[in-house]
Amino acid sequence: MAGYRYDYDVIARWIEPGEKVLDLGCGDGDLLRHLIAAKNVRGYGVENDPEKVVACVRNGINVIQSDMNRGLTEFDDGFFDHVIMSLSLQAMHNTQGILAEMLRVGREAVVSFPNFGYWRHRQSILHGRMPVSRSLPYQWFDTPNVRFFTIDDFEALCEQNGIAIRGRLAFDEGKAVEEEPNLFASVAVYRLGRD
Amino acid sequence: MTDIARSARSVGIVAPQTARFAEALPLQSGERLDGYELVYETYGELNAARSNAVLVCHALSGSHHVAGRYAGDDDDGWWDNMVGPGKPLDTDKFFVIGVNNLGGCHGSTGPRSINPATGKPWGADFPFVTVEDWVNAQARLADQLGIDSLAAVIGGSLGGMQALSWTLQYPQRVRHAAVIASAPKLSAQNIAFNEVARQAILTDPDFHDGNFYEHGKVPERGLRLARMVGHITYLSDDAMGEKFGRALRHGKALYSYDVEFEIESYLRHQGDKFAREFDANTYLLTTKALDYYDPAFAHGGDLVAALAAARAGFLVVAFTTDWRFAPERSREIVYALAHNELDVSYAEIDCPAGHDSFLLADPQYHAVLAAWFDRIEV
């Protein structure tokens, strides 16, 4: 998903130099390029959009064309140090399956998503309209997003699935949010593991 | 495309060359070939550093005639849409080599050639050759052309197996490999199709145990059937339905075994054409080379271990409607390469034409190939 890129620096902070990284929904390979430059990672991306696959190849990024809803069955357990999904989880049908797969093939997962509970989104709903914002830039009738959830929803799901939250950073249009992120953050970035 | 645009993107008039090798080639079977010839073509210019060479490996029925035309002939090379100035494998940048494999029937030493030991055509006595043997022979051709390191090796189907094998047999001599519509080994179903094709040839009375040349015969019925079976597997059900459907030549059933359905006409035409041109012994040898190919076999079936020797950067391409070499088979290669932490990209092209898609100019397919070749430094 294009547009929002300030989560890249947060993600990079959680990655150690030389790690093996898998980026799910890697787009044109922008994040992986960033991580290769900043952390010299060994990176692979998964993408299903034909044009973005060509863009990755053009950018010299390893890309595997695949529908993420199919799972990552071909990868061995724990092969990657980090499996990243940047602003794509809300577009996946099989939320729990994807999270489980990420934590199977990766030691840790990094996930970012738009917070449906953001105050501007709440305000839209209060005025009777579905939210359209920088973090949710689509109209209801053409959005690729299929899951609408808040920071609190996500953390409840993690608890329910035995997923450990090892780090969280929340942002309001790029500015860090410390207080009441479920209300004041438009995007959250999580570092997840298994206990 | 207009004729002008076409000629601007073609390598133009080409001519084959012959390389002679006096040194014996040991074969995987334990036999050896004492001297042999390989016929090949080149397109583009080898640069001063000799670093821009790309080898194109052919599949079952292909040849060294990859691109361009022969003087006085209207037929383009078999991968002319891929190779040429401004095409995905751009001959303005790369020096492209096409070579007819050993055991072939387009000019390289094969069953039709004279066996120096007997003074007669090799026929059925021509030794079994494998993908690995072909690659060894190709490497000697590269030696003769003064090429230490190939910028890339590319092939589709059986050609993809050769490209993969290059990266395992000569990891220091190949920097990139494109493995298209291929597989790390054939499935039982694939071997079964090959066996039907072989039996069609072997049981043709005109085959004469492979020595039909001296009887002045050609096992055309066998070759025709072999090609017909092959063609069914190269197309998708949808593509065949789209192209021929149940169209009846006479508009109604004639209760006859002559050609009625258009698909019958197509298969017979393809079979006849092939039987006129192709060599039955080459067909047998080549399908066996396909069947035997299995780099993981020596590693207890572990493909990850088998591909550990590779050093090249890879592009793997499969086609959604290809059931002869299905995308699942290409994904096995991709994940085994990734588990070795090698550079690999994988594109799964949504093209309706089945296995034959790799020979077509699907825009997405060619966009991926063009982007990949464009990144290769020479």
pLDDT in tens, B244-256: 999 999 999 999 9
- CA neighbor of B359 nearest in space, from B62, B13, B39: B62
**Cβ contact, residue pair B368, A54, below 8 Å:** yes
Q: List the beta bridge partners of residue B42.
A: B97
Q: What does the CA dihedral B285, B286, B292, B296 come to, rounded to 10 degrees?
A: 150
Best mutation target, A28, A53, A72, A79, to test chain B (most B CBs within 10 A): A53
Cβ contact B376:B152 at 8 Å: yes
Predicted pLDDT at A195: 80
Q: Which residues contact B320 (CB under 8 A, 6 or more apart)?
A: B327, B348, B349, B350, B351
> Is pLDDT of B340 > 60?
yes
Nearest to A58 among B341, B344, B374 (CB): B374
To the nearest whole angstrom, how far is the Cα of B363 from the nearest Cα of chain A?
11
In a domain, A42, yes or no: yes
Give the helix ranges, DSSP H, for B42-104: none
Our CA angle for B279, B282, B284, nearest 5°, is 110
Predicted pLDDT at B103: 97
Best mutation target, A67, A74, A76, to test chain B (most B CBs within 10 A): A74
For residue A121, which phi and psi values (nearest 5 degrees)?
-70, -40
In a domain, A81, yes or no: yes
Give the burial class of B115: count Cβ atoms within 10 A of its Cβ; 0-12 exposed, 13-18 middle, 19 or more buried. middle
CA distance A46 to A58: 15
Kindly list the catalytic residues of B: 157, 322, 355
Percent above pLDDT 90 for chain B: 97
Q: Which residues of A touch B347 (CB under 8 A)?
A: 50, 53-54, 57, 65
Query: How many other C-beta atoms are found inside a 10 Å radius of the C-beta of residue A180?
Result: 12
Predicted pLDDT at B1: 43
Q: pTM value?
A: 0.95
In a domain, A1, yes or no: no
Single-letter residue type at B264: E
What ipTM, to 2 d.p.?
0.93
In a domain, A83, yes or no: yes
Cβ contact B177:B312 at 8 Å: yes
Count structural domains, chain A: 1
B273 to B18, B227, B269, B276, B295: CA distances (angstroms): 26, 9, 6, 5, 34
Beta-sheet pairing, A106-114 with B53-57: unpaired
CA distance A43 to A25: 13
Q: Taking the CA atoms of B287, B292, B294 and B295 in sequence, report the sign of the dihedral they define.
A: negative
Restricting to A residues 43-82, those with a Cβ less than 8 Å away from any Cβ of B are 44, 50, 53-54, 56-58, 60-66, 74-76, 79
Cβ of residue B19 closer than 8 Å to a chain A Cβ: no
Q: Which residues contact B68 (CB under 8 A, 6 or more apart)?
A: B10, B11, B12, B13, B14, B41, B43, B76, B77, B80, B84
Cβ of residue B248 closer than 8 Å to a chain A Cβ: no
Q: Where are the beta strands (DSSP E) in chain B?
A: 17-21, 25-26, 32-33, 36-43, 53-57, 83-84, 89-90, 95-99, 114-115, 120-121, 152-156, 176-180, 313-319, 344-349
Cβ of residue B9 closer than 8 Å to a chain A Cβ: no
pLDDT band at B2 (very low <50, low <70, confident <90, very high): very low
pLDDT digits (tens, 9 = 90+) for B24-43: 999 999 999 999 999 999 99
**Cβ contact, residue pair A57, B368, below 8 Å:** yes
**Cβ contact, residue pair B346, A63, below 8 Å:** yes
pLDDT digits (tens, 9 = 90+) for B75-117: 999 999 999 999 999 999 999 999 999 999 999 999 999 999 9
pLDDT digits (tens, 9 = 90+) for B189-220: 999 999 999 999 999 999 999 999 999 999 99
Cβ contact B88:B369 at 8 Å: yes
What is chain B's mean pLDDT, rounded? 96
Q: Which residues contact B189 (CB under 8 A, 6 or more apart)?
A: none
**Cβ contact, residue pair B348, A58, below 8 Å:** no
pLDDT along chain A (195 residues), means of 10: 66 95 95 95 96 98 91 88 94 94 96 96 97 94 96 98 96 92 96 93
Predicted pLDDT at A183: 98
Q: Residue A182's domain is classified under what CATH number?
A: 3.40.50.150
Predicted pLDDT at B4: 45
How would you write chain A as a 3-class SS string?
A: CCCCCCHHHHHHHCCCCCCEEEEECCCCCHHHHHHHHHHCCEEEEEECCHHHHHHHHHCCCCEEECCHHHCCCCCCCCCEEEEEEECCHHHCCCHHHHHHHHHHHEEEEEEEEECCCCHHHHHHHHCCCCCCCCCCCCCCCCCCCCCCCCHHHHHHHHHHCCEEEEEEEEEECCEECCCCHHHHCCEEEEEEEEC
Best mutation target, A28, A47, A62, A83, to test chain B (most B CBs within 10 A): A62
Q: Which residues of A touch B345 (CB under 8 A)?
A: 53, 56-57, 61-64
Q: Based on DSSP, count helices (H) and strands (E) in chain B, helices before strands.
A: 11, 14
In a domain, A182, yes or no: yes
- CA neighbor of B22 nearest in space, from B36, B12, B9: B36
**Cβ contact, residue pair B375, A44, below 8 Å:** no
A31 to A1, A4, A26: CA distances (angstroms): 11, 11, 7
Single-letter residue type at B241: G
Cβ of residue A93 closer than 8 Å to a chain B Cβ: no
The boundaries of the domain holding residue A80 are: 6-194
Nearest CA in chain B to A20: B341
Burial A127-159 (b: 16+ CB within 10 A, else e): eeeebeeebbeeeeeeeebeebbbbeebbeebe
